C-alpha cells in the first residue's frame, strides 16, 4: 500500500481513547465563528466588483464603460494575485502564527476599501484589487491550520462548512445589500460600508483565536484530550520547519485539479452573474439583486445538509464525485435554456454542486497532511486553483465582447466540468 493511501484516509488512525465521547467544553467552536466572519467579509470585498461593473456610474468613473475585457480584468487582477501569493504564505503563517496574520489582514482589507472609495482611477483600483488578493490568500490556509489544530478529523467537514457558510451568506446577503447601497448612495459608499464591516471580526479574533490549544486560557482538559484523541495517527510531527511532503501525494494533485476546475466555473459565473441576469435576461436592478442571491440560498442549504453527512459517514469523495458529475449536466442546461427563470434554477443548482464538491476537498486535504505542512499545502492547493481560474472572468469578458453574449462561454465550463469529474474518480474509488 502506498504512503498516499495510508496517510490520507480519515477512516484510519484514530487513537481510540475518547473517539466517540462528547467532551466537556466547546471552546473550539470559537474557531467556527471566526472562520465564518472572516469569509463573510472577505467575500463581500472580493465579489462587490461583480455588482459594480453592472453600474454605469462606476464604469464611467473608471473609464471602462463598454469594455467588457477591462471590467473582467478587475476580477482577474484579484484572482491572479490571490493565486500567486498562495504559494508563499504557508511558511509566513507558520512563523507569525494564524492569530496575528488574521488580525493584520482584516485591518488591511478595511484600509484597501477606503482607498478604493477615495479614487476613481482604474490603475488604483487594479492595484488595490491585486493587494486584496495578495492578503486574502491568507484566509483559507489560516482557517485550515486552525481547524487542523482545534478539531478532530471526524469534525472537520462541519468545521470547514462554517467558513463555507460564511462565504455563501456573504454572497446571499451581501450582493443584494451592495446592490441596494450602490443604487441608493453610489459606489463610493459601498466601499466605505465594506471597510466598516471588515473591522468587526478583528475584535472576535482577539477574543477567540489562539494558535495552539495550550495557549487558550479557557479550554478544559477534557476538551483538549477529546481533540487530540480524535486526530489521525499521521499527525505526529510538530516540528517548526515547514514540510513539503504533500507535493508527493497523489491526493493533493487530484484535489487541486478538481478545485481549480470548479473555481473557474464559480468565479467565471459569479463575476458576470448580475450582468447575465440584467443584460441577457432583462431583469430590473432590484430583481437582479434578489435573483443573484438565489444560488447562495441553495448553497447554504447544501452545506447544512451535506457536511454533517460527510462527517457521519467519514467519507468526503462519495459526495465530491456525484456533485462534479452534476456540474456538467447543469452547465449544459444553462447553455441551452432560453427561459430566464429556468436559467436561475439551473445556476442555483450549479453553484450548489460546486459548494458541496469544494467543501469536501478541504477535510480530505487536512486529513492527508501533518501539522507542519497543512498551511503550506492549502496555500499551494488554493494557489494552483486560483492561478488557473483567474483568467476566466477576463476570458468570459473577451468572449462577451466578441460575440455579444455570455452564453457562448458556458460551453467552456462544460469541458472543465468533465475534467473535474474525471479527477474525482480515483478519490472516490479509494474512499477518501
CATH of the domain at 258: 1.20.1250.20
Higher pLDDT, 137 or 403: 137
| Residue-wise pLDDT tens digits, 141-167 | 898 888 888 888 778 888 888 888 888
Three-class SS state of 260 = helix
Listed in sequence order, the residues at least 6 apart from 199 whose beta carbon sits closer than 8 Å to its beta carbon are 106, 107, 110
Does some domain include residue 240?
no
pTM over 0.85: no
Whole-number Cα distances in Å, 72 to 134, 193, 213, 342: 18, 23, 43, 25
Does some domain include residue 2?
no
Closest Cα to residue 51, out of 41, 39, 59?
Answer: 59
* 194-210: average pLDDT: 89
Q: Which domain holds residue 307?
A: 24-232+245-429
Does some domain include residue 1?
no
Residue 338 has pLDDT above 50, yes or no: yes
Q: How many CB atoms lie within 10 A of CB 262?
A: 26
The domain tally of the chain equals 1
| Residue-wise pLDDT tens digits, 254-291 | 999 999 999 888 877 777 776 777 666 666 666 666 67
Among 13-27, 131-145, 166-180, 390-404, the least confident range: 13-27
Residue 419 has pLDDT above 80, yes or no: yes
Among 149-158, 171-180, 350-359, the least confident range: 171-180
| Residue-wise pLDDT tens digits, 1-35 | 333 433 334 333 333 334 445 556 788 888 888 98
Does some domain include residue 19?
no
| Residue-wise pLDDT tens digits, 228-260 | 776 654 444 444 566 788 889 999 999 999 999
Does some domain include residue 15?
no
Residue 82, all three cell numbers: 490571490
In the block, cell 458556458 appears at 410
Does some domain include residue 237?
no
Does some domain include residue 292?
yes
Residue 21, all three cell numbers: 465521547
Residue 88 has pLDDT above 90, yes or no: no
Higher pLDDT, 160 or 323: 323
Does some domain include residue 174?
yes
Amino acid at each position: 500500500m502506498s504512503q498516499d493511501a495510508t496517510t490520507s484516509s480519515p477512516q484510519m488512525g484514530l487513537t481510540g481513547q475518547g473517539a466517540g465521547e462528547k467532551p466537556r467544553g466547546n471552546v473550539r467552536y470559537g474557531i467556527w465563528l471566526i472562520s465564518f466572519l472572516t469569509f463573510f467579509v472577505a467575500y463581500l470585498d472580493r465579489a462587490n466588483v461583480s455588482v459594480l461593473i453592472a453600474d454605469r456610474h462606476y464604469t464611467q468613473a473608471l473609464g471602462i464603460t463598454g469594455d467588457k475585457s477591462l471590467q473582467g480584468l478587475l476580477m482577474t487582477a484579484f484572482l491572479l494575485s490571490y493565486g500567486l501569493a498562495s504559494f508563499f504564505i504557508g511558511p509566513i503563517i507558520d512563523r507569525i502564527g494564524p492569530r496575528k496574520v488574521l488580525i493584520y489582514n482584516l485591518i488591511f482589507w478595511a484600509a484597501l476599501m477606503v482607498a478604493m472609495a477615495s479614487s476613481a482611477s482604474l490603475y488604483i483600483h487594479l492595484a488595490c484589487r491585486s493587494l486584496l488578493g495578495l492578503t486574502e490568500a491568507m484566509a483559507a490556509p489560516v482557517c485550515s491550520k486552525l481547524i487542523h489544530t482545534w478539531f478532530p478529523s471526524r469534525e472537520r467537514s462541519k468545521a470547514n462548512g462554517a467558513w463555507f457558510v460564511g462565504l455563501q451568506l456573504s454572497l446571499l446577503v451581501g450582493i443584494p445589500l451592495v446592490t441596494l447601497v450602490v443604487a441608493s448612495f453610489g459606489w463610493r459608499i459601498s466601499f466605505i460600508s465594506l471597510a466598516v464591516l471588515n473591522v468587526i471580526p478583528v475584535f472576535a479574533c482577539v477574543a477567540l483565536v489562539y494558535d495552539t490549544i495550550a495557549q487558550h486560557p479557557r479550554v478544559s482538559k477534557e476538551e483538549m484530550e477529546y481533540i487530540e484523541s480524535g486526530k489521525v495517527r499521521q499527525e505526529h510531527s510538530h516540528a517548526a520547519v515547514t514540510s513539503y511532503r504533500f507535493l508527493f501525494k497523489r491526493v493533493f494533485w487530484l484535489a487541486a485539479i478538481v478545485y481549480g476546475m470548479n473555481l473557474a466555473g464559480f468565479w467565471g459565473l459569479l463575476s458576470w452573474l448580475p450582468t447575465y441576469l440584467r443584460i441577457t435576461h432583462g431583469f430590473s436592478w432590484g430583481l437582479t439583486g434578489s435573483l443573484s442571491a438565489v444560488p447562495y440560498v441553495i448553497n447554504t442549504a447544501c452545506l447544512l445538509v451535506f457536511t454533517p453527512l460527510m462527517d457521519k459517514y467519514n467519507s468526503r469523495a462519495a459526495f465530491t464525485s456525484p456533485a462534479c458529475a452534476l456540474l456538467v449536466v447543469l452547465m449544459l442546461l444553462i447553455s441551452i435554456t432560453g427561459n430566464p427563470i429556468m436559467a436561475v434554477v439551473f445556476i442555483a443548482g450549479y453553484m450548489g454542486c460546486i459548494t458541496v464538491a469544494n467543501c469536501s476537498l478541504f477535510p480530505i486535504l487536512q486529513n492527508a497532511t501533518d501539522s507542519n505542512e497543512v498551511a503550506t499545502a492549502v496555500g499551494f492547493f488554493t494557489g494552483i486553483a486560483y492561478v488557473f481560474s483567474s483568467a476566466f472572468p477576463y476570458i468570459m469578458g473577451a468572449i462577451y465582447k466578441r460575440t455579444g453574449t455570455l452564453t457562448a462561454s458556458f460551453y467552456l465550463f462544460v469541458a472543465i466540468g468533465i475534467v473535474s469529474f474525471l479527477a474525482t474518480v480515483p478519490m472516490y474509488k479509494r474512499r477518501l
